[in-house]
Amino acid sequence: MDLKTKLKSTGLLQVIGNTPIMKVQSLSQLTGCDIFMKCENLNPGGTIKDRPALHMVVEAIASGVLKPGMTIVEGTAGNTGIGLALVGQALGYKVIVIMPQGMAIEKHKVLKLYGAEIVETEAVPFSDDRHFFKVGKKIGQSSPDYWWANQFDNPDNYLSHYLGTAPEMYQDMDGKIDAVVVAAGSGGTAAGVSKYMKEQNKNIRVVVPDPMGSGICSYFKTGEFTSDHSYTMTEGVGITRFQDNFKWIQQDECYTISDQKLTSLAMYLREKEGLVMGMSSMLNLAGAFNTALKMGPGKRVITFMCDGGERAISKMYNPEFLLEKKLDGTLLPEKEIVELFKNF
Ligand SMILES: Cc1ncc(COP(=O)(O)O)c(C=O)c1O
pLDDT in tens, 89-148: 999 999 999 999 999 898 999 999 999 999 999 999 899 999 999 999 999 999 999 999
Ligand 1 and 80: CB distance under 6 A: yes
> How far apart are alpha carbons 41 and 43 in whole angstroms?
6
* Separation of CA 179 and ligand 1 centre (Å): 19
324: confidence class by pLDDT, cuts 50, 70, 90: very high
165, 196, 237, 239: which to mutate for ligand 1, most atoms within 8 A of CB? 237
Max Cα–Cα distance, the chain, nearest Å: 60
pLDDT at residue 36, as a whole number: 99
pLDDT at residue 218, as a whole number: 97
> How far apart are alpha carbons 243 and 185 in whole angstroms?
10
Pairing of strands 146-148, 71-75: parallel
Residues 6+ apart with CB under 8 A from 223: none
What are the phi and psi torsion angles at 48 (to 5°)? -65, -20
> How far apart are alpha carbons 145 and 278 in whole angstroms?
35
Conformation bin of residue 309: beta by default, left when phi > 0, alpha when psi is -120 to 50: alpha
* Separation of CA 186 and ligand 1 centre (Å): 7
Mutual orientation of helices 259-273 and 334-342 as an angle, nearest 10°?
140
3: confidence class by pLDDT, cuts 50, 70, 90: confident
Angle at 225 between CA 179 and CA 341, to 5 degrees: 40
Strand partners, 119: 98
8 Å CB contact between 248 and 191: yes
163-178: average pLDDT: 98
Q: What percentage of the chain carries pLDDT values higher than 90? A: 93
pLDDT at residue 292, as a whole number: 98
Pairing of strands 205-211, 253-257: parallel
- Domains parsed from the chain with CATH numbers: 3-42+165-342 (3.40.50.1100), 50-148 (3.40.50.1100)
Nearest residue (by CA) to ligand 1, atom 16, is: 236
Name the residue type at position 276.
V
Name the residue type at position 3.
L
Angle at 240 between CA 252 and CA 157, to 5 degrees: 70
Please count the other Cβ atoms lying within 10 Å of the Cβ belonging to residue 285.
Answer: 26
Ligand 1 and 51: CB distance under 6 A: no
- How high does pLDDT run on average in the chain? 96
* Separation of CA 240 and ligand 1 centre (Å): 14
pLDDT at residue 54, as a whole number: 97
Ligand 1 and 45: CB distance under 6 A: no
Nearest residue (by CA) to ligand 1, atom 13, is: 236
150-157: average pLDDT: 96
Pairing of strands 21-23, 34-39: antiparallel
pLDDT single digits (tens) 230-279: 999 999 999 999 999 999 999 999 999 999 999 999 999 999 999 999 99
327: confidence class by pLDDT, cuts 50, 70, 90: very high
User: How long is the chain?
Assistant: 344
CA distances from 143 to 73, 81, 137 (A): 11, 19, 11
Asked if residue 302 has pLDDT above 90, the reply is yes
pLDDT at residue 207, as a whole number: 98
Asked if residue 322 has pLDDT above 90, the reply is yes
Ligand 1: atom nearest CA of 279 is 1
Ligand 1 and 264: CB distance under 6 A: no
156-181: average pLDDT: 98
pLDDT at residue 7, as a whole number: 81
> How far apart are alpha carbons 264 and 340 in whole angstroms?
9
